[in-house]
């Protein structure tokens, strides 16, 4: 199974490298947009899918990362300085946001993070001296490194792809370490995890902090992609959409963000043929998906496997019953 997963990952990476070369400028831009939301969803998947915490404030970290990089670049600093500072800043703020999770859970925690998102968005909108308010920050340059410019859409796509691959590998290593097992234990049964010596407090805070850092990095990449930011992309609605991406892809599945972000970013673009009805079509598709696949798209193989095992177990029980009946008749 691991070899099959590795092969699928390599084929997917090859497709991500080759497919954009066949696309026009808008297609490359859309794929870059998708990868940025994959990175953001990776972090939220850690918080929701692996650690079992409810967060509706992810877009706030996305915005903090975007504004941090944009403001520093406007002040004359490098993109390569802005990105680690954005990740570090979001990590620290995420650590602070994790404290409510030590006191409240489930829907109450979701409301607490929603309030945080609203507060951050109000700062972005009202503090014009820092963020530009509703006028935003424009002319955000795309970076260069070692004399290589990433100003073109294709070049910037490959830069974002490199970020996504590196961050994906780091997350894979984390999830397959003792830390990853502790996150899963925290999600499945916090009381049992604590009895086994897992630091519930520390891992809860860490799940928020790492997820926030991923969102901050994605936000920094987003600002340089669109080259203009204002508060509009960082609302509570954006947090809900990111949450939806994780749930649709499959919370707790490593590749879930890939499919979830595709549903949230690429599917609406494909549905534009429906014109005024496209939101209705998109909403209906998501509702049907949640009804029939509540554990996400990547739960399909598990559901098929479970049904097959159930049939095999039923057949085995029937065979055993027939055998006992036959033995009883002989006796």
Q: What is the pLDDT of residue 230?
A: 93
Q: Do 221 and 120 share a structural domain? A: yes
Q: Do 233 and 87 share a structural domain? A: yes
In a domain, 44, yes or no: yes
In a domain, 8, yes or no: no
Q: Do 263 and 245 share a structural domain? A: yes
In a domain, 174, yes or no: yes
In a domain, 12, yes or no: no
Q: For position 276, which CATH number holds?
A: 1.10.3470
Sequence-distant (6+) residues with CB within 8 A of 91 are 209, 210, 212, 213, 216
Alpha carbon distance 227, 153 (integer Å): 12
In a domain, 19, yes or no: no
Q: Do 105 and 158 share a structural domain? A: yes
Q: Tally the domains of the chain.
A: 2
Q: Do 125 and 39 share a structural domain? A: yes
Sequence-distant (6+) residues with CB within 8 A of 48 are 54, 55, 243, 246, 247, 251
Q: Do 308 and 180 share a structural domain? A: no
Q: Do 259 and 127 share a structural domain? A: yes
Please tell me the pTM assigned to this model.
0.91
Q: Do 137 and 119 share a structural domain? A: yes
Sequence-distant (6+) residues with CB within 8 A of 126 are 133
Q: Do 316 and 280 share a structural domain? A: no
CA dihedral angle for residue 89, residue 91, residue 94, residue 98, rounded to 10 degrees: -140
Q: Do 331 and 229 share a structural domain? A: no
Question: How far is CA 59 from each of CA 64, 232, 254, rounded to the nearest angstrom?
Answer: 9, 10, 21
Q: Do 226 and 313 share a structural domain? A: no
Alpha carbon distance 120, 235 (integer Å): 9
For the chain of 331 residues, list the mean pLDDT of each consecutive stretch of 10: 65 87 90 96 91 89 96 93 95 87 77 91 92 90 88 93 95 88 80 77 86 96 94 92 90 89 85 70 78 81 80 77 68 57
Q: Do 329 and 214 share a structural domain? A: no
In a domain, 265, yes or no: yes
In a domain, 15, yes or no: no
Q: What is the pLDDT of residue 89?
A: 95
What is the residue range of 318's domain? Answer: 300-331
In a domain, 11, yes or no: no
Q: Which of 53, 254, 85 is nearest to 167 (CA)?
A: 254
Alpha carbon distance 187, 193 (integer Å): 9
Structure tokens at 303: 């559901």
Q: What is the pLDDT of residue 330?
A: 60
Q: What is the pLDDT of residue 261?
A: 92
Alpha carbon distance 298, 248 (integer Å): 9
Q: What is the pLDDT of residue 286?
A: 77
């Amino acid at each position: 199974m691991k070899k099959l997963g590795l092969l699928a990952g390599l084929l997917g990476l090859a497709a991500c490298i080759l497919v954009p070369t066949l696309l026009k400028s808008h297609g490359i831009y859309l794929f870059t947009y998708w990868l940025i939301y994959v990175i953001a969803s990776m972090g939220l998947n850690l918080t929701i899918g692996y650690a079992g915490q409810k967060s509706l404030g992810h877009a706030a970290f996305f915005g903090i990362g975007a504004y941090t990089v944009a403001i520093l670049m406007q002040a004359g600093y490098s993109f390569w300085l802005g990105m680690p500072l954005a990740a570090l800043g979001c990590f620290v703020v995420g650590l602070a946001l994790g404290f409510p999770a030590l006191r409240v859970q489930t829907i109450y925690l979701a409301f607490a993070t929603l309030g945080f998102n609203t507060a951050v968005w109000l700062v972005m909108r009202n503090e014009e001296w820092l963020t530009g308010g509703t006028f935003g920050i424009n002319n955000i340059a795309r970076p260069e490194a070692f004399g290589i410019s990433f100003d073109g859409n294709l070049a910037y796509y490959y830069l974002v792809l490199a970020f996504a691959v590196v961050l994906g590998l780091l997350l894979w290593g984390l999830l397959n370490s003792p830390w990853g097992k502790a996150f899963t234990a925290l999600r499945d049964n916090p009381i049992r995890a604590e009895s086994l010596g897992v630091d519930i407090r520390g891992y809860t805070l860490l799940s928020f902090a790492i997820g926030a850092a991923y969102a901050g990095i994605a936000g920094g990449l987003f600002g340089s992609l669109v080259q203009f930011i204002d508060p509009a992309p960082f609302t509570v609605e954006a947090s809900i959409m990111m949450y939806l991406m994780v749930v649709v892809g499959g919370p707790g599945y490593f590749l879930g963000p890939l499919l979830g972000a595709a549903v949230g970013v690429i599917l609406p673009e494909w549905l534009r043929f429906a014109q005024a009805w496209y939101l209705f079509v998109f909403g209906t598709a998501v509702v049907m998906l949640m009804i029939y696949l509540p554990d996400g798209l990547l739960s399909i193989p598990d559901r098929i496997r479970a049904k097959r095992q159930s049939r095999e177990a039923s057949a085995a029980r029937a065979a055993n019953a027939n055998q006992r009946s036959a033995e009883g008749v002989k006796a």
